[in-house]
Structure 1
Amino acid sequence: MASSISSVYNTTLRLTGLSSGIDTESIIKQLMQIEQMKVDKVKQEKQLLEWKKEDYRSITNLLRSFKDEYFDILKPETNMRSQSAYAKYDETSSDPDVATAIGGAGVISTSHTLTVSEIAEAAKAESSAAVSGGANGTISLNDTLETVSAKLTAGSITFGGANNDELTLTINGVTITAKKNETLNTLINRVNSSNAGVKMSYSPFLDKFTINAKETGLSGNNITVTDNGSGFVSATRLNLVDNKLTGGKDASFTLDGKTSTSKSNTFTIDGVTYTLKGKTGASTTITLEQDTDGIYNLIKGFVDKYNEIISTINNEYNEKRNRDYPPLTDAQKEEMTENDIKLWEEKAKAGMLYRDSILGNITNDMRRAMYDSIYTTSGDSNTKLSYNLASIGITTGSYQDMGKLIIDENKLKEAIKNSPEQVIQLFTQESDVAYSPDLTAVQRKERYEENGIIYRLYDIIENNIRTTRDSSGKKGILLEKAGIAGDLTDTNNLMNTAIAEKDSLIDTLLVKLQEKEERYYQKFAAMEEALSRMNSQSAWISQQMG
């Protein structure tokens, strides 16, 4: 708006000082300086708001990075809300051709003896011999079913359906159809993507069809395949028995002296997941040793990131604004080099969030979350856990460290090795009261007290950068304040509202500035006109008297 106003007034023809000899332009420019200062002041206020918004967003991004790295369920290796993140083991098998294993959360370091008698197998049916290769040639996956039928040597397919042009198969109670002008590959894909629980294939090299149960085990022997009278089964030489797949077997094994079975070759017993590899009639010794260093490094990485966040927010909170370096005006920038502007603005941007209440609340909440008592969720809400961060070797430093954590490596590793369940509970315990921004005060208190450290921090982060809305339509505190890219709050936030108000005020002041400047020119023009008349009259009088 301001630019359009300027363009209108700048087109006005101003011829001043002709009669008085006064430098009108210079005088008006000096008179307008006070008005321009009013505009510049609001522009500076707007710039401060924009810098403040940027600083808020930098804190939001810092918290988002923390959340993405240590609270994301899609990253099980580092998702510290999950007990599985703490299940790190060094597993060895004396004969990996027999079986291997992976330790789960809470497993105690130990050894197991596993003897494999039988490997689980999937039930199947396959062509007993090549199915084509006669005068009509061999089958291709891209052949239509009608062409496939003509190439089968053990008989042809009879197409039925309403238009007499469909092949219908019923597998495990699921009906699959394909038209005779559709390809063999289309039929196979429909079978495999259905809920029939089987996988069909055709090998052009072997010239054979195969149907396998998708899951291993005896239960696969109950899968039936019928061709509804089309002759598909006999023509493809599938070796079904009473229309059923055959050969499905459960795995049979003996673990630490106890014999058992499993429909799968991968199974979990007492937190240890075993995978049978195929070698039968042999034994292996599975040794599980807790990867203390791996768990320590996970916790250390988390603590380092936490310290980085605390340090960054504290620096922003405690950095005072240098009022000797206000935002530069347009006129000031015109007289400076780019490097000088950059250096000036580095100082001018400092202290935008000095003693900011949002930042203060975040750091206070995070520090409290680390050392407030945690209550058990086992039924007695008045019972505190008998251990805390300090008891596993994580403490706060001096007052000057402003809440940063310090790790005693030996003590933490000892806790991980000797009290793994306590370490896991301290970090991952979650209250039965689920997180919601609309919890009552009583519910919030109960959830906070029963949450372990990780869920407390998770709640704090969610409260500040949550993208979902509460019952009042509000998102996280930082997003409501300054927004974030990629979200509706990018444009709809309190800082943008304040900036828009400054823009509106700037437009209003520019209009007044232009109007006042025009009035000055009009007054000087009137003065010049009056002087011109006086000069003309004086000249006339002089002429008459002469």
Structure 2
Amino acid sequence: MSSSTRITGISSNMDTDKMVTDLMKIEQLKVDRVKKEKTYTEWQQTAYREQASALKAFQSKYFDVLNPEYNLTTSAAFKSFTTSALIAGEKTAKVEIKGTDSISEKNHVINRIDQLATKDTWKANGKVNGDITSSGLYNVNSINSAVAGGNNTFKLAIDGKYKTITFDAITDLDGDADTDIDDFVNQLNTKIKAAFGDEYDGLVTKKNVSGNDELKFEKNGSTISIVGLDNTALTALGIEDGASTGLAVTDKLSDVFGTIAEDLTKFEINGVKISGLTSDMTVKSFMDKVNNSTAGVELSFSSLTKEFTLKSKSEGSVNNIDLSETNTTNFFANHLKIADDANHAKAVNAQVTIDGIAITKSSNNFTVDGVNYILKETHTTGEAINISVEPNVDAIYDKIKEFVTDYNALVEAVSTEISEKRLRDFMPLTDDEKEAMSEDEIKLWENKAKQGILKNDNILSTMLDSMRVALYSKVEGVGLSLSDIGIETSDDYKDKNKLVIDDTKLKSAIENNYKDVVALFSKDSDQGYLLSGADQSKRYKESGLAERLNDIVNNNIRITRDSSGAKGSLVEKAGIDGVADVTSELYLKLYDYAKKIDDMLDVFSDKQEAYYAKFARMETALSKLNSQSNWLTSQLASM
């Protein structure tokens, strides 16, 4: 509309603004009517989206793979059992029992557990950088010579904490009237104990190798390093600068094992080539490469024993480790100290007798006739182990009851929307109408105006009908129906086709027909939902109740398109919250309303300007007439 400032009625003394406003009322009514239609359509869009959101919440709770505890489309939601393993009526920890959805018999007997399955295990036959040992130390002369020359200090680190150790000339400390290496060992231990504490006493020991006395620095669980402040001092001790007892997994392979590039060019375990190995990678990266490969093994290192261990990830003789590749065998034997010797414990299979039948399993965790056995200890003498597996009737009943309650709430909400009477005397308010009302009055009015906004909606009515039919149509291959397990539609028409539960009948069905109850809800079809070439009619017949309901929900709120290019019905109608929407029916309708209102406002403005122009011309004419009248009057007066 025009925002120009007008001065009107000067000559006519008429209230031009009021007259134009009155003349424009019919045009304003036209604009207001379209605005109300637009507002009502916006309310409809919101109402449809609220229904879609409620369906999405229902789907997320009961049909979502990310919520396995409640996902009724899979048997996992019904896996609740009470189990026992008893010897002479007492609980035993020799076996753990779990139920599965395919359980057939509830009671079994484990007669014997002769052998547990083990993993193929290769332990190292030696430490990697396990100790610090001197070399070439035959007498005390070199040590005393170093002390005399002032070269008698070195840095000793225990678990990264450095202390400077100063050693003295060797004298007779042990009282045997002889100066020997034992005296020096005693001296060093005294110095180390003073520097690090009493618990480190005895860190240095003497050993004799081929008739030669040598020093050894070692403490289990600790990493010891030596750094020379003067190389002459370390030479006198017969120890290399930088000597360490520890292998850090952050060290490079080349630093720990020397030049090994050629050993990594063809590295295979169990016939699987471990690629990407280089001599400058860290020990941890090397182990990660091995462990993350498909070789099915786990390589570990103990900082306490400073030894490597190679173990199969799975139990059983079928998973024994093959290190036959030459380069691989050499690397494990020469560098990791792992070789096929007495430290190799080959994997064996589990040997167990169940219900009088001896069976062999490659794992201690296996399932027979729907019962999951996890063997923990052998059992070769005494009474048999009695096994009992029963569905947890109350837990499964509670879950089904919760589903029925939520389904009924959904049906109630939708049924109310499509049956609620529309109050046609209440339409959306204009801005002028709202100005004359309080906030409470506006809220009350709009609540009445929104009533029945989805009255007799075909999409929601069809969805409810489809759900009712889906619940009571036979599931192919399942010997039970919903009514057979005590769930039926209420006889009271006021309940709007809600479900009611016969508690006794449902609990009995769970206890005595567990497999069929599970299949009734969770059975799936090999025909994929809307997949190309899939037979949707066959899918419907084969699918359990949960999958059928899930498909119906998807048919309404799906944001992906089917083969004909259509999304879910509610999405096609009104779009969905949080998803870009430029093609839904109501979006396009609202777009047309907005454009129509803009066009009407342009026409309104033009017509209003035309009225003002006419009144302006009238004022001009009156002004001229008044001027002429005044002139004539003045002429007559002068005669």
TM-score > 0.5, shorter chain as reference = yes
The answer for the alignment partner of 2:509 in structure 1 is 415
Task: Give the structure 2 partner of residue 193 of structure 1.
Answer: 292
Residue from 455, 466, 479 that aligns with 1:354: 455
SS at match of 2:277: strand
The residue correspondences of 1:90-101 to structure 2 (distance < 5 A) are 90-94=82-86, 95-101=91-97
Q: Shift of residue 232 of structure 1?
A: 3.1
1:141 is aligned with what amino acid? Answer: V
Aligned to 2:612: 521
Q: Output the CA distance in 2 between the equivalents of 1:399 and 1:449.
A: 28
| 1:165-204 correspondence to structure 2 within 5 Å | 169-173=267-271, 174-204=273-303
1:256 to 2:352 alignment: no
Q: Which of 98, 115, 118 pairs up with 1:118?
A: 115
For the residues of structure 2 that align with 1:80 and 1:126, how far apart are their CA atoms?
A: 47
The alignment status of 1:343 with 2:444, answered yes or no, reads: yes
Partner of 2:260 in structure 1? 158
Deviates more, 1:22-31 or 1:219-228: 219-228
- Mark the CA change 1:309 to 1:437 in structure 2 (over 3 Å): closer, same or farther: farther
Determine if the alignment matches structure 1 residue 131 to structure 2 residue 128. Answer: yes
Aligned partner of 1:148 among 235, 253, 256: 256
Answer whether contact 1:159 1:230 (CA < 8 A) is retained: no
Deviation at 1:445, TM superposition (A): 5.0
- Matching residue within 372, 375, 394 for 2:487: 394
State which of 561, 564, 588 in structure 2 corresponds to 1:497: 588
Per-residue CA distance 1:242-266 (angstroms, 9 max, x = gap): 8996421211211122211211111
How far is 1:444 from its partner?
5.1
Give the superposition deviation at 1:87.
Answer: 3.7
Tell me the distance in 1 between the aligned counterparts of 2:6 and 2:296.
90
Per the alignment, do residues 369 and 230 of structure 1 end up closer, same or farther by CA in structure 2, a change over 3 Å counting? closer
The verdict on how the C-alpha distance between 1:271 and 1:335 changes in structure 2, with shifts beyond 3 A counting, is same
C-alpha separation in 2, matches of 1:449 and 1:177 = 51
Measure how far apart 1:279 and its partner are: 4.9
Name the amino acid aligned to 1:318.
S
Q: Give 1:265's aligned residue.
A: 364
Cα pair 2:31 2:601 within 8 Å, conserved: yes
Rounded Cα–Cα distance in structure 2 between residues aligned with 1:360 and 1:231: 75
The 1:129–1:450 alpha-carbon spacing in structure 2 relative to 1, beyond 3 Å, is closer
Matches within 5 A, 1:4-403: 6=1, 9-10=2-3, 12-94=4-86, 95-108=91-104, 110-114=106-110, 115-132=112-129, 133-134=131-132, 136-137=243-244, 138-149=246-257, 156-160=258-262, 169-173=267-271, 174-224=273-323, 226=325, 228=327, 232-241=331-340, 246-279=345-378, 281=380, 284-372=385-473, 374=474, 376-377=476-477, 387-397=480-490, 398-403=492-497
CA deviation string 1:14-52 (max 9, x = no partner): 221111111111221222222222111111111111111
Separation in 2, partners of 1:147, 1:226: 24
Shift in CA distance, 276/469, structure 1 to aligned 2, threshold 3 Å:
same
User: Residue 457 of structure 1 aligns to which amino acid in structure 2?
Assistant: L
Deviations 1:215-273 (A, max 9, x none): 11112324216562895323435332189964212112111222112111110101111
> Residues 74-126 of structure 1: CA distance to partner in whole angstroms, max 9, x if unpaired?
33332222234334210122345211111111424622222322221111222
Moved more, 393-402 or 75-84: 75-84
Contact 2:300 2:310 in 1 (8 A): yes
Q: Give 1:102's aligned amino acid.
A: K
Cα shift at 1:53: 1.0
Cα separation, 2, equivalents of 1:82 and 1:433: 16
Q: 315-324 or 126-135: which moved more?
A: 126-135
Label 1:218 to 1:408 Cα distance change in 2 as closer, same or farther (>3 A).
Answer: same
Q: Secondary structure at the match of 1:179?
A: coil
Deviates more, 1:392-401 or 1:216-225: 216-225
Instruction: Name whichever of 95-104 and 398-407 sits farther off.
Output: 95-104
| Cα distance in 2, alignment partners of residues 324 and 503 from structure 1 | 24
Query: 2:15 corresponds to which letter in structure 1?
Result: D
Aligned-partner Cα distance in 1 for 2:301–2:259 = 16
Q: 1:218 to 1:230 in 2, by over 3 A?
A: closer
User: How has the CA–CA distance of structure 1 residues 146 and 424 changed in structure 2, closer, same or farther, with 3 Å as cutoff?
Assistant: closer
Distance 2:313 2:542 in 1: 43
The amino acid that maps onto 1:303 is: V
Which piece of structure 1 moves more, 96-105 or 40-49? 96-105
1:168 touches 1:177 (CA, 8 Å); kept in 2? Answer: no
1:436 correspondence with 2:530 = yes
Q: Give the distance between the partners of 2:80 and 2:414, measured in 1 at CA.
A: 32
Q: CA deviation at 1:431?
A: 5.5
Question: By how many angstroms is 1:286 displaced?
Answer: 2.3
Superposed CA deviations along residues 262-303 of structure 1, whole A, max 9, x for unmatched, are 111110101111111245546633221221112211221121
Q: Does the 8 Å contact 1:322/1:348 carry over to 2?
A: yes
Instruction: Answer with 1 or 2: which has the greater Rg.
Output: 2
5+ unaligned residues in a row in structure 1: which ranges?
1-5, 150-155, 378-384
Cα pair distance change 1:204/1:181, threshold 3 Å: same
Cα distance in 2 for residues equivalent to 1:229 and 1:355:
75
- 2:560 equivalent in structure 1: 468
Give 3-state SS (helix, strand or coil) of 1:160's partner. Answer: helix
Deviation at 1:348, TM superposition (A): 1.9
Output one character per residue of 1:351-377: Cα deviation in whole Å (capped at 9) or x when no partner: 1101111111111121222334x2644
User: How big is each residue's C-alpha offset from its partner over 1:127-184, in whole Å with a ceiling of 9 and x where there is no partner?
Assistant: 22321133521111111122212xxxxxx553338xxxx6763222213443333211
Which residue type is aligned with residue 420 of structure 1?
Y
By how many angstroms is 1:529 displaced? 0.7
Q: Percent identity?
A: 37
CA deviations on 1:489-531 (whole Å, 9 max, x unpaired) are x343111011101001010011111111111111111111111
Deviates more, 1:397-406 or 1:421-430: 421-430
Count of residues paired in the alignment:
517
The TM-score, its normalising length taken from structure 1, stands at 0.88
Question: Could you tell me which amino acid in structure 2 is paired with residue 143 of structure 1?
Answer: D
Counterpart residue identity of residue 426, structure 1: L
Paired letter, 2:260: T
Give the SS at the match of 2:367. Answer: strand
- 1:299-356 alpha-carbon deviations (Å, 9 max, x no partner): 2112111111111110000112222321111112233333332232222222110111
Q: 1:145·1:183 contact (CA, 8 Å) conserved in 2?
A: yes
Distance 1:123 1:451, change over 3 A: closer
Query: What's the secondary structure of 2:60's corresponding residue?
Result: helix
